[in-house]
Amino acid sequence: MQAEQSEVLDFLRRHPPFSNLPDKELGSVANTVEVAYYRAQSTILLLGQNNHQWYVIRSGAVEVFRRDGQLYNRLGEGDFFGEQSLMLNRPVRFPVTALEDTLIYLIGEETFNYLFDNFEDFADFVEVEDQTRLRQSIAKREDDNTLLTAKVDNLITALPVTVNSSTTVHQAAIRMTEENVSSLLITRSVKDQTEQENQVIGIVTDLDIRRRLVAGGLSSDIPVADIMTTELSYVQSNQFVFEAMMLMLKHNVQHLPVMKKNQPIGLISHVDILRYESQNSLFVVKNIFSAQSVDELASLIHDVQGCFTRMVHQDANSQMIGSAMAVVGRSFKQRLCELGEAHLGAPPVPYCFLALGSMARGEQLIVTDQDNAIILDDGYQPALHGDYFEALAKFVCDGLARCGYSYCTGDIMATNVQWRQPLAVWQQYFSKWIEQPSAESLLHSAIFFDLEGVWGEIKWAEHLNRLIRQKSHKNTRFLACMARNALLRTPPLGFFKDFVMETDGRQTNSINMKRRGTAPIADLVRLHALAVSSSARNTFERLEDIIEAGILPPGRGQDLRDALEFIAMVRIRHQALDIELKHEPDNNIEPEHLSDFDRKNLKEAFQILSNAQRFMKFRYQPGRAN
C-alpha cells in the first residue's frame, strides 16, 4: 500500500542517510515508499533470493543470519538492510527474519540506485554504515575468532580482473559488467622481467567512474588510466583478515589487491570481509583517525588496553596481537602528525616520520616506549626549517607520551636533532654503521635496522631499507659486530638450567621477558635476516626467509619460531592479567606464579634461544666466510 507521505517524510528527516537529502528529493522518495508488515518469526529475505528492494525498518526488529544459520546481526528502528544485493546485483547472501512484529518501508531498486549514484553523502553513509554496524554487532560475539585466524587468501574467490592502461573507460565498464565486478586492476605491458614487480599501476572502481568521469562530465572514450587511483594499498595473501580490514580503515579504501610474491592473485573488498567475525577491539584504529585533538587520542588508552586483553582472551597468537598493537601505535603516530600539521601549518619541506623497533617489526605489546625519527627532504635548511620540525617532533612525541607510549630513555626520538636529519644524512649514517662498524656504535644504532615509514614520504623509508639490505648481507665485519652485541642479552638460565633472576630494583627475583626473551630472539633473527638479504621486518616473517635460505641446522628455525611464540605469549598473558587486576603492566614475571607446564616449557624455550645464540656466535666469527 502507499504510505502516508507526511509520516514518511517526518521519519526520513530524522534518520540518516536520508536526513542530509534535499527536501525535493525526500518528497520524491516518500512518494515511492511502500509499507510492508511482517509478523514475528516470519521470513523477510531468503538465502539466494533475487532482491529488488531496499528495506528500512520503521518499527520493530529483525535478525540477519549467515549462510550456516548463525546469527549475524540484529537491527531496529532506522536501520536498513538489503543494500548488498542491490549494490552487487547478486542474490541475497544474508537471510533476514522478523524478530518481532515489524513495519518496514520498501524503497525500490531504481530509487535506491538513483540516490546512491547522485548523492555522495548518501552513498558513503550506506557503504560505511553497512560495514561499521555489522562489525559492531558481531564484535559482541567473543566466543568466535574466525577473523583473527583467517588469512586473506581465504577471501579470494577468483583471479583479479585486469585491463591495460590504454583501455577506454567505456570498454572497462563493459568488462566490469561482463565479469560482474565493481573494480578493475590496471596494468601496463611488461617489457622485461625487471618490471614485473611494477606491473599493476592502479585501480578503477564504480566509485571512480561515478565521481571522476560522470560527475566531471568527461567522455567515456578517455583511457582508464586518466581516472584510476594510483596510490594503491596492498595486502599480502598470508596476512590476516583483520589486518586487511585495518588497512581499509586506515587508508579509507574499499578495495585491496592481494599480492603473493609481488604478483596480484586477487582483489578483496569490504563486502568480502563482512562475512567474517570481528571484534570491537580492532576498531580503535577508526576512533584514532576520527579524533580531533590530543585529548581525544589520550582518552583511547583504555580502549587500546581493552583491544589487547580481548585478543588475549580470544586465543589470538603473538603475531596477531603484536601486529594489531603495532597498527594501533602507527595510527597514533600518523594522526598526531596530521594534527601537528593542522596546528603548525603545512611543513616547509617534505618529511617522513619513522617508527622504529618493535612497532616497525609489527611486534608491539601494551608495555612499550616510543622509538621514532624523522627523515627530512635534502632541501632542508636548519636556519629556515629547523624550528618547524623541532616543534612538530615535540608535538608528536609529547602526544605519544599522553597516549601511553612513554619517552625513550635512550633518547631515540625525533625530538633529538641527531635523529631528525635529511635523507642524505641518514644514508651516511647507515653507510658508516655498516661499512665502518664497531660494536659500540652498533650497540646504540641497532634499533634503526628495524624501521618503517608511518607518515609523509614513506618511500624514503623503503629506500633506506634497500640500502641496508644491499650493504649489509656480505659485510662479514658488520655482521660479526652485530652478533657480538646480540650476545649481550642472554636467556635467564643457570648452569643447572634453573632460572636466573633479575637482581635490580623492585623487580628482584623476577625475569624480564622482553630483555631476556623476546628481544634476544629478535636480535639474532634480525642478524640472520640481514645475512640472507631478507626484506621482511617481522621476526616470524624473517624466520620464514631464514629457513628457506637454509643457513640454520635442520629443524632449528622451526624450534626458534616455537620458542619465540611461547615466550611472547607468557609475556602477553602476564601483561593482560596486570591490566585486569588494575596493576601497572610490565615485562617481569615471577616464576613461582607460573604453572608447572609453563615453567617446564619456558626453560625449554630459553634453552632453544641459548643454542641459537651459540650457533650465531660460531657463524659470524670475524673473518669467517658465511
Q: How far apart are CA 609 and CA 107, in angstroms?
A: 64
Question: Is the per-residue pLDDT at 455 higher than 50?
Answer: yes
Question: Is the per-residue pLDDT at 195 higher than 50?
Answer: no
- Res 68: pLDDT: 66
In this structure, is the dihedral angle defined by the CA atoms of residues 311, 313, 314 and 319, taken in order, positive or negative?
A: positive
Residue 221 burial (10 A CB sphere; 0-12, 13-18, 19+): exposed
Q: How far apart are CA 527 and CA 244, in angstroms?
A: 29
Question: How many C-alpha atoms does 39 have within 13 Å on its Cβ side?
Answer: 1
Residue 236: CB atoms within 10 Å: 17
Domains of the chain, start order: 5-143 (2.60.120.10), 145-278 (3.10.580.10), 280-468 (3.30.460.10), 473-619 (1.20.120)
Q: How far apart are CA 219 and CA 213, in angstroms?
A: 7
Which amino acid is located at 479 in the chain?
L
Please give the full DSSP string across 52-109, using - where no structure is assigned: -EEEEEEES-EEEE-TTS-EEEEE-TT-EE-HHHHHHT---SS-EEESSSEEEEEEEH
- Res 92: pLDDT: 87
Contact (Cβ atoms closer than 8 angstroms) between residue 433 and residue 445: yes
Contact (Cβ atoms closer than 8 angstroms) between residue 355 and residue 333: yes
Of 1-10, 511-520, 602-611, which gets the smallest average pLDDT? Answer: 1-10
H-type helices in 473-555, by residue range?
Answer: 476-486, 519-531, 539-549
- Res 499: pLDDT: 55
Torsion-angle region of residue 597: left (phi > 0), alpha (psi -120 to 50) or beta?
A: alpha
Q: Give the angle subtended at the CA of 72 by the CAs of 71 and 78, to the nearest 5°.
A: 115
- Strand 162-164 with 183-187, pairing: parallel
Burial 98-108 (b: 16+ CB within 10 A, else e): bbeebebbbbb
- Res 1: pLDDT: 40
Residue 614: pLDDT band by 50, 70, 90 thresholds? very high
With CA atoms as reference, report the closest residue to 319 among 541, 582, 77, 93. 541
Q: Torsions phi, psi of 325, nearest 5?
A: -65, -35
- Res 192: pLDDT: 42
The predicted model gives 362-368 an average pLDDT of 88
Q: Give the angle subtended at the CA of 560 by the CAs of 559 and 562, to the nearest 5°.
A: 65
Residue 350: pLDDT band by 50, 70, 90 thresholds? very high
> What digits encode the pLDDT tens for the residues 201-220?
889 988 889 888 888 889 99
The predicted model gives 60-73 an average pLDDT of 79
Which amino acid is located at 503 in the chain?
T
Of 50-59, 65-74, 79-88, 273-282, which gets the smallest average pLDDT? Answer: 273-282
CA 9 to chain centre: 41
Question: Is the per-residue pLDDT at 398 higher than 80?
Answer: yes
- Res 396: pLDDT: 97
Which residues are paired to 263 by β-bridges? 260
Residue 495: pLDDT band by 50, 70, 90 thresholds? very low
The predicted model gives 175-188 an average pLDDT of 87
The predicted model gives 550-571 an average pLDDT of 91
Q: Which residues contact 526 (CB under 8 A, 6 or more apart)?
A: 446, 449, 450, 482, 486, 539, 542
- Res 136: pLDDT: 41
- Res 508: pLDDT: 57
Helix/strand/coil for 52 = coil
Residue 262: pLDDT band by 50, 70, 90 thresholds? confident
Residue 580: pLDDT band by 50, 70, 90 thresholds? confident
- Res 37: pLDDT: 94
- Secondary structure string (H, E, C) spanning 345-366: CCCCCCEEEEEECHHHHCCCCC
Q: How far apart are CA 370 and CA 404, in angstroms?
A: 9
> What digits encode the pLDDT tens for the residues 113-155?
999 888 888 887 786 655 444 334 334 333 344 455 567 877 7
Highest mean pLDDT (candidates 16-20, 217-221, 416-420, 510-514): 416-420
Question: Is the per-residue pLDDT at 108 higher than 90?
Answer: yes
274 vs 325, residue with greater confidence = 325
- Res 189: pLDDT: 56
Q: Any idea which residue has 553513509 for its cell?
A: 125
Residue 38: pLDDT band by 50, 70, 90 thresholds? very high
Of 1-5, 11-15, 36-40, 66-70, which gets the smallest average pLDDT? Answer: 1-5
Of 56-65, 391-400, 493-502, 616-625, which gets the smallest average pLDDT? Answer: 493-502
What angle do the packed helices 318-344 and 301-313 form, to 10 degrees?
170
The mean pLDDT of the chain is 85
Question: How many C-alpha atoms does 253 have within 13 Å on its Cβ side?
Answer: 23
Question: Is the per-residue pLDDT at 261 higher than 90?
Answer: no
Contact (Cβ atoms closer than 8 angstroms) between residue 86 and residue 113: yes
- Res 141: pLDDT: 36
Helix/strand/coil for 389 = helix
The predicted model gives 286-294 an average pLDDT of 88
Residue 247: pLDDT band by 50, 70, 90 thresholds? confident
Which amino acid is located at 319 in the chain?
Q
Residue 66: CB atoms within 10 Å: 16
Question: Is the per-residue pLDDT at 19 higher than 90?
Answer: no
With CA atoms as reference, report the closest residue to 314 among 79, 184, 138, 454. 138
Contact (Cβ atoms closer than 8 angstroms) between residue 584 and residue 536: no
Task: For the chain, state the CA radius of gyration.
Answer: 27
Q: How far apart are CA 189 and CA 414, in angstroms?
A: 42
Helix/strand/coil for 88 = helix
Contact (Cβ atoms closer than 8 angstroms) between residue 414 and residue 393: yes
Contact (Cβ atoms closer than 8 angstroms) between residue 252 and residue 128: no
- What share of the chain in percent tops pLDDT 90? 44
Burial 123-146 (b: 16+ CB within 10 A, else e): bebbbbebbeebbebbbeeeeebe
- Res 624: pLDDT: 55
Contact (Cβ atoms closer than 8 angstroms) between residue 3 and residue 105: yes
Residue 282: pLDDT band by 50, 70, 90 thresholds? low
Residue 502: pLDDT band by 50, 70, 90 thresholds? low
